[in-house]
Each structure stands twice: as structure tokens, then as C-alpha cells.
Amino acid sequence: MPSVIQNPPEAQPSMHFDATAATNAYLAQIPADKTARSDAYFEGGYWLILWDFLYGAAVALLLLNRRWSARMRDFSERVTRFKPVHTFVYWLQYLALTTILVFPLTVYEDYFREHKYGLATQTFGPWMGDQMKGLGVNLVLGGLLAMLLFGVVRRRARTWWIWGAGVTILFLIFTALIAPVYIVPIFNKVTRLDDPKIVDPILSMARANGIPAKDVYTMDASKQTTRMSANVSGFANTMRITLNDNLLRRGSPEEIQAVMGHEMGHYVMNHVNKLITFFSIIIVLAFVCLHWGLSWTLQRWGEKWQIRGVGDTAVLPLVVLLAAVFGFVLTPVFNTIIRTQEHEADMYGLNTSRQPDGFAQAAIHLGEYRKMNPGPTEEWLFFDHPSGRNRIYDAMRWKAENLKLFTPPLSRKEEAH
Ligand SMILES: [Zn+2]
């Protein structure tokens, strides 16, 4: 993408300001080869949703049909009869085996493909280091969740799915709470921003919106990627806004303010809490389906797979398989819920930052890894943010309807005459 994006003549305030023409003028600044490249990257992602699902399903079926899962359970039982430790030992083997089996896809998707599209900044060694760290996080958090869930299933043989949903929801909230403080710093260095040129306008915007922020955080995302981004993370008192260093380095001040306004929208409209509520409903639904799916499949193939029941750790690949089917089918629903929030944050951000051109610049920069101009069905199915074209159009329409903010004082005087 062009590193400096011009404010095109069509987007200058005038009597003839036209939102569509201004949008097209912004889009015209993107060279055709760059559009082809980011389209190919993003459209490839649609197929990856399918391949990830099929590959994961094949791995799960392999573990079940070849009774590797049953053997891992047998081994765990030989190690210990103490149930929580037994579950953890099973989890350890399961995680190691599936990580190895899925590794070819992981290395293609996260390493070679990211490099091919110029989005990755890591050499293989550091990338592998991050993978190992991720595995460690997974070992601890996944192990904890597995121990809790199997504990619940063993104690509540008939109502386990209600209790299981409850435990999973609490676990989700716990993870959201600790993530910015304990998980993000494992991978990246998070620091407080102290450049007053950037921080002061952001903090006054925060005050104007009733946000009790004293600090703005940044992290060294450039260690892994060239992507520009920012996010709101955490829950309750760990909630914070973080701008990544790619945005700070490559974004104009207007662009940074526009992005910050968007993030404040997430914050003020309690999007994290709403998302947790939404996911809680999905988790309850998932457990209802799981309850039904497990009894159906175990009745048919339980003996063949040597799974003794829902409380047997050997059932885990089947649980993962059923959850994957559920998640795959609901992909457009997840995308639409998140995209709706993102659109709300976009409009909030425009109103609060009053930087429609900064926002258009950001939309173009984000177009390095997202298709700018998809069809409406494509956007509904696959986009978890509004498309770049729609974002620029929203900004330009907002500008058209608030042109007086951009008219120089002289002509305002003329208008008065
Ligand atoms: Zn957002």
C-alpha cells in the first residue's frame, strides 16, 4: 500500500462534494497489483477456513479410529489414578500429538503464506519460538479447562452439559481478564506511550468521551508482522486500549486519532461485555449440541473407538470434532456479530475523532491484508470487519453531511453575508 495516502481533490470540502466520488478517488490510489495481492491473500483465507476444518476433522477421526486416543487414556491411567492428574497427562499427550499432526498446515498458513504476501517479519527460529510459547500457554490453560470439565462430567453424569457450559463461560471471562496482563506480554513487549504529540490528543478525546484513561499502551507487533492494528483487550479493571507500533510508525496523526476513536467506541459501548454475553449464549447452545451429538455418536461408534462414556478422557477428539463442526457452521454468524460491533465502533470513531480522511487512510492501510471491495454476500459470510470500501464510504458520507466542520472560517464568513 502507498505509505503516504493523499487526501484526493474529490475528498476536499466543496459545494460539489460527493461521497461516492470521494470514495472512488481514495480507492484509485491503491495500485492494481496491490489490490490483486491483498484480494488473493484474503480469498485464500476463505479456503483455509474449509481446509483447517477438514484437516482438523481428519486428525480427530484418525485419533478415534486408530484408537490412539484410547491408548493415550490407558497410558494416563497407568501413570496415575488421581483423576485430575490423569486428565492432565492425557491432555499433554493429546496436545503433543495433534500439534505434530497439524504442524504442516500451521507452518504453511502462519509462516510460508505470511511471508509470501509480505506480512511476516520473523525468520523461522523466532517464529518457532513463538509457536513453542503458544504451546506452553495451551498446555496450561487448555489443561486447566480439561481438568475442570472432566471433573464436572464425572460428578454430574446427567446434567454435565449445563455445568460444563457454566464452567466454560467462567473460564472465558477469566482468560479475557488475564490476557492483556499475563498472556500478551509472553509474546510482545507492551509499554506505555509517552510521546505527548500522540498521547495528548488521544487523552483529551478520552476525557471528552468519559473514559477514565490515564495511559495509552503500545506493543511491538512489528516483531511478528507488518500489519497495522489496535485493540481493546481485557475485562473489568484490566481493560485497556493498545495501539501497535506499525500503526504508530506508518499512520498519520489524523489516522491514529481516527483509529483511536474507533477503539474508544468499543470501550464506551461495552463491546467486550456484550461479546462475552453473546459467546455465553453460543457456549450454552454448543453444549446442548454436544450433549446430543456425543450420545448419538458414542452409541454408534463408542465401542469401536473404545470410549467408555462422556467422562472418559479418550472422548476428547470427538468433543473437538463436534465443536469444530459447530464452529464451522456458525462462522458467518460469528463474523456478522463482530462485524456489526465493528461498524458501530466505526461510526462512534468518526463522530468522536472527526477525522474521516484519517479513517479512510486507515481503511486503505488495513486493506493490505483484507479485500477492499467484496460483494455483499461475500462480506456477510467472510468479513469480521466492514470492507475497506464500505468503511471509506461511511467516512465520506459522514464528511459530506458534516462539511461545515471542514470549511475554512473565511468562506463561513462569506456564507453569512
Ligand atoms: Zn474494532
Task: For residue 388, report the distance from its CA to the centre of ligand 1, in Å.
Answer: 13
Tell me the CA–centroid distance for residue 241 and ligand 1, in Å.
Answer: 11
Written as one string, the DSSP assignment of 350-408 is HHHH--HHHHHHHHHHHTTSS-SS--HHHHHHH-SS--HHHHHHHHHHHHHHTGGGTS-
Residue 239 C-alpha to ligand 1 middle, in angstroms? 14
Residue 357 falls in which region: left (phi positive, over 0), alpha (psi -120 to 50) or beta: alpha
Query: 253-268 vs 356-366: helix axis angle to the nearest 10?
Result: 90
CA of 268 to the centre of ligand 1 (A): 12
Q: What is the DSSP letter of 222?
A: G
pLDDT tens for each residue of 355-368: 999 999 999 999 99
Ligand 1 centroid from CA 262, angstroms: 6
Q: How far is the CA of 272 from the centre of ligand 1 (A)?
A: 11
CB 122 within 8 A of CB 130: yes
Q: 357 alpha carbon to ligand 1 midpoint, in Å?
A: 17
Task: Categorize the per-residue pLDDT at 111 as very low, low, confident or very high, splitting at 50, 70 and 90.
Answer: very high
**pLDDT higher than threshold 90 for residue 150:** yes
CA 274 to ligand 1 centroid distance, Å: 14
Q: How far is the CA of 342 from the centre of ligand 1 (A)?
A: 5
Q: Which residues pair with 191 in a beta bridge?
A: 218
Question: What's the average model confidence in pLDDT over 153-167?
Answer: 95
For residue 213, what pLDDT is reported? 78
* Number of C-beta neighbours around residue 69 at 10 A: 27
Tell me the CA–centroid distance for residue 366 and ligand 1, in Å.
12
Share of residues in the chain with pLDDT > 90 (%): 83
Model-level pTM greater than 0.85? yes
Angle formed at CA 161 by CA 156 and CA 163, multiple of 5 degrees: 65
Q: Please give the distance, rounded to the nearest whole angstrom, from the Cα atom of residue 379 to the centre of ligand 1.
A: 16
CA dist., res. 246 & res. 169, Å (int)? 33
**231 alpha carbon to ligand 1 midpoint, in Å?**
7
| Residue range 32-48, pLDDT digits in tens | 999 999 999 999 999 99
Give every CB contact of residue 116 below 8 A, 6+ residues apart in sequence.
Answer: none
Decide if pLDDT at 413 tops 60.
no
**pLDDT tens column, 192-203:** 998 888 888 888
Confidence of residue 81 (pLDDT cuts 50, 70, 90): confident
DSSP 287-355: HHHHHHHHHHHHHHHTTTTT---TTSGGGHHHHHHHHHHHHHHTHHHHHHHHHHHHHHHHHHHHHHH--
C-alpha 130 – ligand 1 centre gap (Å)? 25
Whole-number Å distance, alpha carbon 4 to ligand 1 midpoint, is 23
| CA 280 – ligand 1 centroid, Å | 20
- Whether the predicted pLDDT of 417 surpasses 60: no
Cα(1) to centroid of ligand 1, in Å?
Answer: 21
Query: What is the percent of the chain with per-residue pLDDT over 70, rounded to a whole number?
Result: 97
Residue 244: Cβ-neighbour burial (10 angstroms; 0-12, 13-18, 19+): buried
Distance from the CA of 225 to the center of ligand 1, in angstroms? 18
Q: For residue 415, is pLDDT > 60? A: no
For 246-291, write each residue's pLDDT tens digit.
999 999 999 999 999 999 999 999 999 999 999 999 999 999 999 9
232 C-alpha to ligand 1 centroid (Å) = 8
Asked if the model's pLDDT at residue 234 lies above 90, the reply is no
Q: Please provide the average confidence, as pLDDT, over all residues in the chain.
A: 93
DSSP reduced 3-state for 252:
coil
Distance from C-alpha of 31 to C-alpha of 87, rounded to nearest angstrom: 54
Q: Quote the ligand 1 centre to 92 CA distance (angstroms).
A: 35
Give tens-digit pLDDT for 388-404.
Answer: 999 999 999 999 999 99
Is pLDDT of 20 > 80? yes
Q: How far apart, in Å, are the Cα atoms of 147 and each of 86, 96, 99, 214?
A: 9, 17, 19, 39
Taking only the tens place, the pLDDT of each residue in 324-378 is: 999 999 999 999 999 999 999 999 999 999 999 999 999 999 999 999 999 999 9
Name the burial class of residue 257, with classes exposed (0-12), middle (13-18) and buried (19+) by CB atoms within 10 angstroms of its CB: buried
